[in-house]
Structure 1
Amino acid sequence: MVKFSKELEARLIPEWKEAFVNYWQLKKNIKRIKIHRTNPELEVNRDFGFSIFDPIRYIGRKIAGRFSGGSGEEHETIQVKNRGGDEEDLYQTDLVQLVSEADEIKEFFERLDEELNKVNHFYKTKESEILEKGETLNKQLQLLVDSKQVLHDRRRKSFSGRSDSGSFPRSNSSSLRGSEYSESAGESAEPPSESSPTDSAIAALERNGVNYIGFPRSKTKKGKPKMAMRIDIPATTPTRTISAVTSMLWEDLVNDPKKENPGDFINRRKIQCAEKMIRGAFVELYRGLGLLKTYSSLNMVAFTKILKKFDKVSNRQASGTYLKAVKRSHFISSDKVVRLSDEVESIFTKHFANNDRKRAMQYLRPQKHKDSHMITFLVGLFTGCFVTLFSIYAILAHLNGMFSATTEVGYMEAVYPVFSMFALLSLHVFLYGCNLFMWRSTRINYNFIFEFSPSTALRYRDAFLICTSFMTMVVGAVVIHLLLRSNGFSPSHVDTIPGILFLLIAGLLICPFNVFYRSTRYCFLRVIRNIICSPFYKVLMVDFFMADQLTSQIPLLRHMEFTSCYFMAGGFKTHQTQTCTSSKLYKELAYVISFMPYYWRAMQCARRWFDDGDIDHVANLGKYVSAMLAAGARLTYAMQPTPLWLAMVIVTSSIATVYQLYWDFVKDWGLLKPKSKNPWLRDELILKNKSIYYVSIAFNFVLRLAWVETVMHINIGRVNNWLLDFFLASLEIIRRGHWNFYRLENEHLNNVGMFRAEKTVPLPFREMELDD
């Protein structure tokens, strides 16, 4: 049977851990009581050492305990009083005469009162916040219903003007399906007259405190500004961004700012986007309600368990009395969260699931996939296959002398860039699987941080399965390639094998069928799209986290460029690589590819500064600019090894390294705090062993200096240089995988510090003032 302390640790909400009952501290208090009671000398001194009446009290307590027999004379042990009044609960426990001399018991109940008051205060705060969100969402939903009615009436009026029948059915205001409205209705319909059916919907909007633009219904009071409804859709795509900027410039430069044009503020597309935003907000509201219910139930069980332990250790029946007070406290007695949860279920089922409760629950309560033993079996199977095939490859390569240089072109020069690309990608996926395992083990809520859906989020076993199956396929292709070459097959035919492998993996990535983690593959493609279009997308955590991964995969991007050139230019037919390595275009592309990841990351910083106004994003942008300069200097020095460019490499790389190290340790990891209770770390640490953090700082520092090899030019042979480059690229990926854990740990602790366990969803409808 699992101890409750471990169960509580596993089930509590990580971001709210400090707000839960400190069950572990209360257990320590009970342990002190037990030590005190099991020490006879201490018990005698406590009972007879203070007053001549103490022996009488001692005998009376023994007799009372024997006759009560644990039957529940709780009122003689403790009295729990609420001294906070009606506005706020503030519980305080008073001990009766018989136990008033027990300091350990008094300390236990003082601690218990503190925990109860803490839980009540936190629950009230979160409850009021979530009730306020519920009220706001109800108003947003009503505005959405009324706006759809306006849109429908405009469409109906437009159809009435074109057709004699005019018999278009009137919409149901409770139905929020966007498919009921045609494109022409939202974009090109003319506003109806004052006596049209739109009046009822406009009146409904006015009841919600806003006047629909273009249809003034009533005069505003003197001195009170006239309000209007506007739908704000976040510019989360390039199309929306360009549209928003163009619309803003057009209104400012061409249109009359005082002109009221209803078509600019409401149409079918905006209504559909607003509906999607409100639906997401309801899902997040329901999730927050679920968190509060979990918080309430777990704390109730914690109080029950700890009081039972107290009864057992102290031989006093106090749990019944105290639990009555706990049940009367706000976090148990309040039913507002339960009622609001039922209301959200009803609203969501009616408005967003077409009265299909099962479908609504799929949105509101997405089920997590259960761990499958088959995945574990497949990981082991592919791991064994990979080790076996790699051993065969190493033996065959050594026997055939494939790692030695030939007269014209070496085996490594033609094949290494192709296969090393797959190897570097597999290493990164493997390290991501290790990250997932560590985040899960340390209770870092990575799904919430990345905003992943629990039902489709990748788990560490899944990442290991992708990695091992991928590498088994790659090493199998390498072995076949090597066997065919060593048996005298034509290089033009043999070298098509890595090309076929490249096409197979690219095809699997974009495969539309629901096989091999389609949701993860499509999520990856969406994130890559967001990164490439960085200035035009609102930057999320997962976007800039993935962009940081790309800055460590520049060798892989270079190999992708070589592979594309090698096959598209027909290099595999002649088995020559000079076409793709010595041309001017190749050298220019080398600069572009080396700059792109840093450029994308810099653009993300610029967009975040534009959205948030935080000057730290500008400083972070400077870090990536310095990295671009250092990368450009190293590339130029590799092509023109002159003393001037050597000095440029040393200067730019040194500045970039110091910049990066500072940002790694201070900003991304949150370490190097001089006044921290953990010297030069931070106050809160997830890993219990502090020395791991110091070792990680040193490890990151050493790997950040890998660029020194480009200056020292370690010459250990022509072929071995290829292996050295692969080794250095692997070290950078390892450094990034190591960096990932501490980056997310710091993000998680920031969420914990602000008790942030649910995300904030933007809402579409807002009020704006109009000039008379």
Structure 2
Amino acid sequence: MVPEWQEAYMNYNFLKTLLKEILIFRQQSRSPENQVNPRSRPLKATTLKRRGSLFRAFSGLTGYGNRSPKQDKEDEVILVSAMHTADEERGEDGRSYQTIFLRASEEGAEYELVFFRRLDDEFNKVVNFYRAKVEEVVKDAEELNIQMDALIALRIKVNDPAAVSPLINQRNTGYPLEVIQEEQQEKRSNDVKEYQMASLDVLNHIKINTTAETPLSAIKNLFIGSNSDLRFNKNELREAKEKLKQAFIEFHEKLRFLKNYVFLNQLAFSKIMKKYDKITSRNASDAYLKTVEESYLGQSDEVTKLIERVESAFVKHFCNGNRHQGMSTLKPNTKKKRHRDTFFVGKLQACCKIASIIDLNGTTLTIVDLNSTTLTDVSSVAGCFFGCSLALVVAITVNVHARDLLNSRGRTQYMDTIFPLYIVFGFLVLHMLMYAGNVYYWTRYRVNYSFIFGFKPGTELGYIEILLLSSGLSVLTLAAVLSNLEMELDQNTERYTTLTELLPLGLVIVVLLIAVCPFNIFYRANRFYLLVCLWHCICAPFYAITLPDFFLADQFTSQVQLLRNLQFYVCYYGWGDFKNRNAETCKGSVYNVIYIVIAVIPYWIRVLQCMKRFLGGHDSTQALNALKYFSTIVALVARTIQTQRGGPVLQIIAGSTSGVATIFNTYWDIVMDWGLLCRNSDNPWLRDKLILPNRSIYFIAMVLNVILRLAWMQTVMNFHQAPFLHRNALIAIIACLEIIRRGLWNFFRLENEHLNNVGKFRAVKSVPLPFSYENDDKNL
């Protein structure tokens, strides 16, 4: 089932409930004395009945043969007729189907009347939706025809037609080429091919659709202006070909969706009618299924023909006749799903293998050989990493407790310098865990996150793969933390203090190298996708803003503390403070200014993205959204200055600006991003359509969102001065709460986006076409 078309499918479950009501009525209407216990029946009667059936006339494998007309007439239960609507002159397009129940005088027939009435409604809904979609794809095919005419003409113009003119039959030039509907015939005469030549006149009526692909091209368009006139160069040909290729891929996917839509609905009608026959002991399925087969749903073959022609045209014009390459592009392999339980099996197995990793009587760490552990898939590897992470956490806890490091003199120095370096990876791991949870529940409740984010089919990461990455990163981080502690306290490694301080930096370098690694390892497609979205965020005003871009920018607004810690990395290692484990350089006025700027950057990116969308005319509410982020910037700057300088005046300013920003952001989260708090909806104070079965979860999520957004109060109320907890530890806890809030926001934000796509039946990406026509004149 296409998730975005869910409302357009036959409602099989509801029809089953109606059949269940019929079954219950029939069971209740039978008198006890007329009910016969099957166990009390004589065996002889049953045997004779079965033997008698072996000598009856064969009814045929299709279920239609060897029945007399008189018997068919007597067994008629329903009569299905096509009723003409107001659009009767449209022929088939104006029909709706209505079933007349011929046994209405029987007791309990009202239940069956309701069933057939709803069955007709579902059938008409399916037929009308399919008819509308077929008309839509036919129009799209006509548009692709015209676009392909222009592409072929441009190809001829760019590739110097004078060089191939001797091979062209001049009698056939000047006729347009219908690409999708073409059945080109090639003849040989004196070893020269004669074929139909595309007309070049189409180039006089079209313009190239240019888009700002790079910041440089966007700046040129801003100052020089965009020029969409054709220059007939190879760059234009290459870009037009790529755009049209992508349009063909999306069009083919839509056709496959429609073909599958027909199959699933025909199967659903067949199964529901057989259930009706079984419950009522009637024979009505043949008549109704015959109507289904003779309807537009069963007789229309436009989609099948279009699929064949699209595949033929795509292989010929975009794959150089290589059908295997073309079909692998049009029909990418679906991602193989792995059994979710193997993750927990792998986790349990790893935990058992590492159960003896810690010697509680001492402080040494023993590494267990895991070569005997068979990890057959990704989930088992993720489970192994998870088990290793748990063991390392226990090892670090025992190490700290055994050596009483919490009460040592270097505790404050460690928390001021080393802790901010390692907590960066803690923020990353927590964010990835929240995203893994999002993916799990999106998949469970059929939220098409892959389509919404625009992942290449088959490359999207499942929750197990994300858990693998997060658990692997946690193992590296915890191993580095434990190694750092061991090297500091071991007398044999005291002289290598500089090397000890470089462990966090080395870990950052390893993570960055993996992120930009050009080789096909560690999910290269996803890493490249993330880097492209990150680049779009950095260059926000120069690119068209899509959902993945502003979704990623929103994630960075919840990782402000991570960005500040990266600033601490630059200061700590760049100015050489790591040699003495002293961060005095990172406390100056310049550092404090940059400390504010770093925190503002994610919100400023969102302001630019909102203004870009507002000026582009896509959404007028984006001006208010930009104002929301600007209010957050003001509140953030006020809180940071109040923390650095103190004072009652700054405290009042920080509290008031933060309060306004919190109210603004909370309203936008719940009402605009989540689509909740609709007073007159079918679900009071929520929305008409919900994915989660338990409505109370939405109210809990709204309350949690408000509570977690009030975390800024710890700064204004000076909670960071609590003596029982170090300031950096409290800041890390508050940052983790914000990451958790963002994880909750992610699920409901994408749920609302999915429901919007469902409401508009958008199941395929809209791809911009390469050519436009002067005065919209396509009758060339």
TM-score (norm: length of structure 1): 0.83
- Corresponding residue of 2:707: 702
1:435-467 CA distance string (max 9 Å, x none): 000000000000111111122111111000000
Change (3 A) 1:484 1:347: same
Q: Distance in 2 between matches of 1:346 and 1:94?
A: 45
The Cα of 1:242 is off from its aligned counterpart by 2.1
Aligned equivalent of 2:480 = 477
The residue that corresponds to 1:360 in the other structure is: 326
Give the counterpart letter for 2:471 in structure 1: T
2:210 is the counterpart of 1:204: no
Which residue is 1:237 aligned to? 214
| 2:140 partner amino acid | K
Is contact 1:235–1:537 with CA below 8 Å preserved after alignment? yes
Match of 2:160 in 1: 153
Structure 2 CA distance for aligned equivalents of residues 516 and 545 of structure 1: 23
Letter in structure 1 aligned against 2:206: M
Equivalent position of 1:371 in the other structure: 337
In the alignment, which residue of structure 2 is the partner of 1:586?
Answer: 591
Q: Decide which moves more: 537-546 or 147-156.
A: 147-156
- SS of the residue aligned with 1:90? strand
Separation in 1, partners of 2:331, 2:601: 40
The one-letter amino acid paired with 1:145 is: I
Conserved? CA contact 1:382–1:469, under 8 Å: yes
Residues 270, 486 of structure 1: CA spacing in aligned structure 2 closer, same or farther, 3 A cutoff?
A: same
Q: Where does 1:457-468 land on structure 2 (aligned, <5 Å)?
A: 457-468=460-471
CA drift of 1:552 comes to 0.2
The superposition leaves residues 140-183 of structure 1 with CA deviations (integer Å, 9 ceiling, x where unpaired) of: 011011012112228969xxxxxxxxxxxxxxx99x9xxxxxxx
| Correspondence 1:751-762 to 2 at 5 A | 751-762=757-768
Alignment-derived partner of residue 323 in structure 1: 289
Q: CA offsets per residue over residues 187-225 of structure 1, 9 Å max, x none?
A: xxxxxxxxxxxxx98x8143xxx452xxxxxxxxxxxxx
Aligned to 2:5: 16
Match of 1:534 among 534, 540, 544: 540
What SS does structure 2 have at the residue aligned with 1:743? Answer: helix
The Cα offsets for residues 569-623 of structure 1, whole Å up to 9 and x where unpaired, read as: 22211221111x2122211211110110000111111111122342201110001
CA distance 1:396–1:119, shift in 2 (3 Å): same
The answer to whether structure 1 residue 339 and structure 2 residue 338 are counterparts is: no
> What is the distance in 1 between the residues matched to 2:408 and 2:161?
77
| Alignment-derived partner of residue 385 in structure 2 | 382
Of 259, 269, 276 in structure 2, the residue corresponding to residue 310 of structure 1 is 276
For residues 349-372 of structure 1, the C-alpha deviation after alignment (integer angstroms, 9 at most, x for no partner) is 001111111111121111123135
Is the 8 Å Cα contact of residues 5 and 763 (structure 2) preserved in structure 1? Answer: yes
In structure 2, the partner of 1:80 is: 80
Computed over aligned residues only, the root mean square deviation of the Cα atoms, in angstroms, reads 2.6
Q: Does 1:113 align with 2:120?
A: yes
**27, 32, 47: which one aligns with 1:38:** 27
1:365 and 1:238 map into 2 onto residues whose CA distance is 34
Shift of the 266–608 alpha-carbon distance from structure 1 to 2, 3 Å rule, reads: farther
Question: In the alignment, which of 660, 670, 673 is matched to residue 678 of structure 2?
Answer: 673
* Aligned AA (1:79): L
CA distance in 1, matches of 2:104, 2:423: 78
**How much has 1:99 moved relative to structure 2?**
5.7
Which residue of structure 2 aligns with residue 259 of structure 1? none
Residue matched to 2:346: none
Cα separation, 2, equivalents of 1:656 and 1:155: 67
Which one is further off, 351-360 or 75-84? 75-84
**C-alpha displacement at 1:719, in angstroms?**
5.6
Distance in 1 separating the partners of 2:200 and 2:630:
50
Distance in 2 (alpha carbons) for counterparts of 1:405 and 1:733: 31
Aligned residues, how many?
A: 670
User: C-alpha separation between the residues in 1 aligned to 2:332 and 2:727?
Assistant: 51
Cα distance in 2 between the residues matched to 1:545 and 1:725: 24
* CA 1:211–1:280: 2 relative to 1, 3 Å: closer
Q: How does 1:684-703 map to 2 (within 5 A)?
A: 684-703=689-708
Question: Counterpart in 2 of 1:194?
Answer: none
Residues 34, 147 of structure 1: CA spacing in aligned structure 2 closer, same or farther, 3 A cutoff?
same
Alpha-carbon distance, 1:111 to partner: 1.1
- Hey, what's the Cα distance between the residues in 2 that align with 1:739 and 1:97? 55
SS in 2 for 1:677: coil
Query: Structure 1 residues 329 and 264, CA, compared in 2 at 3 Å: closer, same or farther?
Result: closer
Give the aligned residue type for 2:29.
P
CA distance in 1, matches of 2:229, 2:761: 42
Residue 42 and residue 283 in structure 1: after superposition, are their counterparts in 2 closer, same or farther (change >3 A)? farther
Residue matched to 2:424: 421
2:95 alignment partner, one of 89, 92, 106: 89
The answer on whether the counterparts of 2:154 and 2:203 sit within 8 Å (CA) in structure 1 is no
Shift of 1:264: 5.4
CA–CA distance in structure 1, aligned partners of residues 598 and 144 of structure 2? 46
Tell me the distance in 2 between the aligned counterparts of 1:616 and 1:499: 43
1:77/1:99 contact within 8 Å kept: no
The higher relative CO (CA closer than 8 Å, separation ≥ 6) is in 1
Contact preservation (8 Å) 1:412, 1:719 = no
Q: What CA deviation, in whole Å up to 9, does each residue of 1:288-311 have, x standing for no partner?
A: 001101111000010000000000
Deviations 1:263-302 (A, max 9, x none): 7554322221111110000000000001101111000010
Q: Distance in 1 between matches of 2:473 and 2:162?
A: 54
Contact 1:233 1:270 in 2 (8 A): no
Q: Which amino acid aligns with 2:199?
A: A
Q: How does 1:408-447 map to 2 (within 5 A)?
A: 410-447=413-450
> CA 1:634–1:463 in structure 2 vs 1: closer, same or farther (change >3 Å)?
same
Q: Is the 8 A contact 2:631 2:661 kept in 1?
A: yes
CA distance 1:453–1:442, shift in 2 (3 Å): same
Mark the CA change 1:390 to 1:97 in structure 2 (over 3 Å): closer, same or farther. closer
1:544-555 to structure 2, matched below 5 A, reads 544-555=550-561
TM-superposed CA distance for 1:650, in Å, is 0.9
Partner Cα distance (2:317, 2:656) in 1:
62
Q: Greater CA deviation, 300-309 or 269-278?
A: 269-278
Aligned residue for 2:611? 606
The alpha-carbon distance between structure 1 residues 650 and 456, as it changes in their structure 2 partners (threshold 3 A), is same
1:712 and 1:725 map into 2 onto residues whose CA distance is 14
CA distance in 2, matches of 1:135, 1:505: 49
Q: Pick from 620, 626, 643 the counterpart of residue 648 of structure 2.
A: 643
Please say if residues 155 and 237 of structure 2, whose CA atoms lie closer than 8 Å, have aligned partners that are also in contact. Answer: yes
SS at match of 1:705: helix
- Cα distance in 2 for residues equivalent to 1:608 and 1:154: 43
Matches within 5 A, 1:84-233: 84=84, 85-97=91-103, 102-153=109-160, 204-206=199-201, 210=202, 212=204, 228-233=205-210
Q: Secondary structure at the match of 1:662?
A: helix
Q: Residues of 1 paired with 2:555 and 2:130: CA distance?
A: 39
Indicate the residue corresponding to 2:748 in structure 1. Answer: 742
Q: Identity of paired residues, percent? A: 37
Amino acid at match of 2:462: R
**Counterpart AA for 2:148:** L
8 A Cα contact 1:534 1:603, kept in partner: yes
- AA matched with 1:235: A
* Structure 1 residues 291-310: aligned runs within 5 Å: 291-310=257-276
Alpha-carbon separation, structure 2, partners of 1:332 and 1:416: 67
Q: Which deviates more from structure 2 when the two are superposed, residues 462-471 or residues 489-498?
A: 489-498
Q: 1:566: how far off?
A: 1.4
Amino acid of the structure 2 residue aligned with 1:736: R
